[in-house]
Structure 1
């Protein structure tokens, strides 16, 4: 049964209702009834939307909780961030602690420039920086002496973020070259190229021996002098076989004088050329490993490179050292010199640089 009510409205409101009635072609009474029904309908819609939103939020919360309990899901969803070791408040994994102790013994560890690579819940990698100034063309550079990231996180996006971060840390030191060696950082060449790195040097490390009967394709005229290892005497020279910063090598040799032998070599117009022989034990076998130092300009003279390596091979042959030889040969002359060597295995070592 319908009921009637009477209401008293302000004049302004009454006039607005009349205008709305005309727009909808309704009487005043019909329009008021319409508004009451419409208001109830809107309230029901709001309640329905609230239920839908709350349901969606509950589903999202469930998925997040499920992901946090399942590491295999977390790998694809979480990005890697870089934080300084000094700022890390969590527990450093035992394996990483051992590696840090190793870097400290090698005197490469710098706490202010050692970084952890983390996802929101765990450490998944690490990297360390060091800074050097050498003769040109290397000059000043920040060197990535260690880099390790768990395989599931080795995505281009993560690598780009990590190297951008390391680049910013280097630029803060007013240095604008970021260098790495594949002996310390095993990232594929095509990925490094995509990240903006350019190849500065490439050597082939050859394990083998010198062939017993050699016919040299050039007459070797040179003078050799056995020397005591002296860092100052070799100042300004660069190694042909570029694998690590010079200061790392010098620090190691100064602690290992009993296993190294140094010869100064004079030939043609060159001066201050050195061949350093180092005795190494690898898997219970003795090897002799060689590092050649030249003036920076001679590093890019193919004739000089060919001759100094001929001299090296002759010196090794005279000592009859057998098959336990390791030589790093620049890729430019690799095909020329392998004719003098037997090769058991070989691999490439690259030095890369990114301009910041």
Structure 2
């Protein structure tokens, strides 16, 4: 897993993106009648902001070259901010602190906490090759501790109201494949005994219990991010020499199998758990489209295709294309919002990429056009639940 990617868009495209993002955020700022008081983040290295600094683990990002945009390594598996950092700033919350930091106590937790851990997964044995990590069950345990602290600070009614309005992000699953079922050499015995279908069914069954538990602890607005095209990650291809420059088929097939069942699970929970707003973020197909049609997104012909980019930058990129606006979309406490906008940007050392998005409780994406005259206009629809 490494760290840098240079993406260059022409000045016209960049300014077009920035203008549209500004207008989108302005419209939502005007249209929202409720604010988001807190953000609670669950995930793996994509969203870890330093929890692994406090445990014995091979999965650490507290050293160079991580964190160059901060001037120091912070524990984020990125050159700069994570997607959750960007969203929290958009919402005026600042960065959600890592749960394990000794300073994450008292009134600080009222704006949210980050529980994500590099190498973490849905299953408790995922990522064990890295030693210490905090898997989803333990992350929920940690949230339960935070919940008790918040109740002690502001009382039960106010705490439950805070959780009702807060944003909860769950971005896990990649490590359950890459660092469990597909671990090179070590996973061969398991794959002989356990079919892909059985493994995915186990994942989904476990996740159902975990998300239900999160709901029972007070979470109501929950973004569930699916697994991206993990077969296109460079180190996966490195362990599969016959793939050449192509993506590896099996990991992507497993991701799609999982994502199909995950989408159904999100719909099931949204219906079953009264008062919940589950949002399924389909980042797989967004990234797949970018990988296959990178020129349409403003990559210069001289640049390598996105499929050559490293794991964390690639996954950070495709999640940012959807999740940044998704957070804004579900920020309205008692509304459904359908949002249409053809470009979303993320700016760090990662530079900028454009992508069209279509936002509903299930998130997907139409094909892009970089011609300004053909871009669709922004539209919103708000319906009281």
Fold conserved (TM > 0.5)? no
Normalising by structure 2, we get a TM-score of 0.25
Give the greater-gyration-radius structure (CA).
1
* Higher normalized contact order (CA 8 Å, seq sep 6+, divided by chain length): 2
Normalising by structure 1, we get a TM-score of 0.26
